[in-house]
Amino acid sequence: MSRFFHAKGDSDSETESSEDEVEDQKVSKSAKFRDDLDFMAGPEDDEKRVVRAQKDKKFDELKSIIKQNRDAKSNKDLNKLLTGFDSLTKVFEKSKTIFQRQNVSTPRFYIRSLVEIEDYVNKLWEDKDAKAALSKNNAKALPALRQKLKKYVKDQNLTDLVADYRSKPDEDGYETPEDEDDDDFEEIAEAKTEKSPGKAVAVESDSESDAESDDSWSSEPDTNSSDDEDSVTKMEQLRRYFLKKEFREESKDDKKDKRKRVIKVKEIVEEDDDDANWTPVSREKSVVHFDPKEEVTHDVMIKKLNEVMSARGKRTTDRNQHVANLQKLLEVSEEKGLGLGISVKISFCIISALFELNAKISDFMEYETFMNTLQTVNKLLDVLIETDRVKLSVTYAEEDENLKDDTQEYRIQGSILIAVQRLDGELAKILQNADCHSNDYIEKLKAEKDMCQLIEKAEGYVELRNHLGIFDKHEVCKVYMMRIEHTYYKYQEQMAEAGKTMDYLCKKIYTLDDEKRLRQRAMLCHVYWLAVHDQWHRARDLLLMSHMQAIVDHSDVDTQILYNRTICQLGLCAFRHGFIREAHQGLSEIQNTQRAKELLAQAVGTRQHEKTAEQEKIDRSRQVPYHMHINVELMECVYLICSMLLEIPHMASCEFEMRRRMLSRSFHYQLKQSEKASLTGPPENTREHVVAASKAMLNGDWKKCKDYIVNEKMNQKVWNLFHNAEPVKEMVVRRIQEESLRTYLLTYSTVYSTVSLKKLSSLFELTKKDVHSIISKMIIQEELSATLDEPTDCLIMHRVEPSRLQMLALNLSDKLQTLAENNEQILEPRTGRGGYQGPGSWFPGRNERQGDKQKGSGGFQGDRRPGTGGQDGKRGNWGGAQSGGGGSQQRRHPQKQRAF
């Protein structure tokens, strides 16, 4: 009998014996166990083999790599993303033949993957903060990945496909035909049932009826066909049970799929629904301003203002909506005529809210927001200037405010000067973050004119209301300082009027400022302005009297940057006036560091590993806007020209010295680099022009030197940048003639016995008087050993140069002196005493037998240690007692002589 009949018989009959029941249970259990084994194992003949096309296999391989690339993007592992991109391109190259054989074009999901990688790389490349925070491997992989991706798209002719995809991108959740499976339609059906409850109930009822029919079918008699069908349904249930897509626990990928599924369902529902007129509702809770039936009084307005301001700074508050609410309150207060007190208070709250639109104070304000804030501050300042019944001061407390009593003066807490100062800082940040080589920077720079007018208006307001005592002294100094900082770097033709204004502003700060910082900055700005307007002597005297060079190291970083800018501008001013040595001295402090742009705050240092992200952000905030930059190439060219005019005659005068003292290391480095070059072509940049001119001057060819310094190319890069270019060029040519003459005389003094002054005058195109003056100075300063013979009008040379033997003797004496110094350094730690003390120093007992005469006095006692030897710390005293403590101790405690 079949096991089904046993089961039914056990349930229906109650009259059989207990033994039969036990036997039936055993039989049923064994049958169930056997069937379960058959169900788990399953005959292999019932399993269906799935034959997949090569195209599908390649699609799956590409999709798996794309998934790995997405994981690498989410983990910000650019090194792994680079490797995955290489693997993706290799697999696609191998799959091309299969795609061509089956007439399959480039899959859309492959183009989508390339576009996603490109967008991710470009976004990361433009984000400087995120790029700086990358690790060393990721920072190295980012440019390589960016370059490879561009090259691959261009070489494989995928530009059109990428452009088509960007014009019509896939929406989130959209799947291309290559991605779609049968399971997707099941998911959409499931989502539809979730959307419509009635349909879900119907589906559940159908499934329950199917289950009941299966149960009823299972109670039918046992046949071969029923067993086969039962095994097939059980295998199908087992397959569905272990199918990950339907029954696995929710993970992040499931949530993403769910989002895609919901998007699909929404699209379907929107297509099916006829009533698609929906009203969008924003999350932001709009403030209900006033009840139309309620009368708007001062108290109601103040209460509503406090209600709006209570939401300030909260995370859930929409900042733009907060500004709109305040503007609505201002409109209502002006409409109802509530007085200036309420109006000024709300206006100041609007200004504060506009400044707080940026979540971080380090972020720069949008240009449109800046202009809106500028107009608001300007209107408020006009109101404060027109009437004296409104006092806006930080000295007032909230309890002391008077907003509604018009019989008294309106008192409001706040400071319009601080708002102007904050607005000036926002303009600087906007210009720092703008592209300095674009028209956008020029458009934003136009706002500086409005800013300067606002600062002048604020200055007038301070002078108009200063007698009321509502301003802080520091705020007043800040207003004057802002105007100085917008004026000091600009060259003005009307120098007399501008000079009076600058003197007035600086004297105001000298008088009012109790701190040293603003006074120092005002003085440096004053020196900078004088240097720009070619008042060299006043600028130099003011800088020397301030003693800034001694105290600048203890100042803040911004003041040090201003000092560096002032020194460079002072050096350029000295060069324009022909003070070559002073110009060289001023510019050498910046040029010899090889970090001129960094010291002038015109670029961020390239040594990123020494700075953290926070330090780099601070350095970027200190950068000077582009329109205030000093031309570094011009400054370097001026410095090299000054070095040439000083160093070339010095090199000619020290030709026979072994150790020549260098005035400019960077200039000598450029000369050495030029000498090392195997092939020297025509000069291209300003540096090569100066090096070529230096070689010509060293040979005494002043015309060639002049042609290298003054030509069309140098005019465009250097000389036309001076506001008085022609006088500067004439001065440089004159100095080249004079220094070439000095170099010529120093170089060929050993060749000539007499030189005619007339010949020198014609050779260097100088007047006879100028030649006589130059030669006289050289003779007085002992640079040239010669005499002037007035009857013959000649220069008579004196041969005092050393001969070859004398040169060798001088070299030998220098080397022997070096050897003696090295021996003293070697002997000093061994003997414990200074210098060489004779042969007895090698034998400790020998000095004791020689008595006190040798120990206490007499002989040369050398010592290199300062304070224990001779007067200069390097040599001992001849014939006198040693000044160190060792000799006096030996005299106080003489040792007994030993007799042999």
Mean pLDDT by 10 residues, the chain (900 residues): 44 44 48 46 49 78 88 86 89 83 81 88 85 83 87 84 82 53 40 41 42 43 49 67 53 50 43 48 53 79 88 84 90 87 91 86 86 93 90 86 86 91 92 90 92 94 89 91 94 86 92 88 94 93 90 91 94 93 90 87 74 83 92 93 91 67 81 83 89 90 91 90 91 93 87 88 90 91 86 84 78 88 76 46 42 40 39 37 38 37
In a domain, 810, yes or no: no
Between the alpha carbon of residue 652 and those of residues 638, 649, 752, 797, 876, the distances in Å are 22, 5, 15, 16, 37
In a domain, 257, yes or no: no
CA–CA separation, 763 vs 754, rounded Å? 15
pLDDT at 600: 92
pLDDT at 612: 81
Residue of 287, 309, 304, 296 whose CA lies nearest to 338: 296
**Among candidate residues 167, 197, 212, the one where a domain is terminated:** 167
- Expressed in percent and rounded to 5, the helix, strand and coil fractions of the chain are 65, 0, 30
CA–CA separation, 843 vs 416, rounded Å? 87
Please give the sequence-ordered ranges of beta strands (E in DSSP) within 696-780, or none if there are none.
754-756
CA–CA separation, 47 vs 41, rounded Å? 11
pLDDT at 526: 95
Supply the CATH number for residue 706's domain: 1.10.10.10
In a domain, 572, yes or no: no
In a domain, 833, yes or no: no
**Among candidate residues 417, 443, 471, the one where a domain is terminated:** 471
In a domain, 188, yes or no: no
CA–CA separation, 529 vs 535, rounded Å? 9
**Among candidate residues 732, 767, 797, the one where a domain is terminated:** 797
Instruction: Count the domains in the chain.
Output: 3
CA–CA separation, 487 vs 479, rounded Å? 13
Residue of 596, 592, 609, 501 whose CA lies nearest to 134: 609
CA–CA separation, 461 vs 417, rounded Å? 10
Between the alpha carbon of residue 195 and those of residues 181, 183, 250, the distances in Å are 22, 18, 20
List of residues 6+ apart from 831 with CB closer than 8 A: 837, 841
In a domain, 512, yes or no: no
CA–CA separation, 755 vs 786, rounded Å? 10
Q: Find out whether 304 and 336 touch, Cβ atoms under 8 Å.
A: no
pLDDT at 532: 94
In a domain, 432, yes or no: yes
CA–CA separation, 17 vs 369, rounded Å? 96
pTM for the model stands at: 0.61
DSSP 8-class letter at 788: E
In a domain, 884, yes or no: no
The angle at the Cα of 208, spanning 207 to 212, to the nearest 5 degrees, equals: 120
Which domain range does residue 793 map to? 631-797
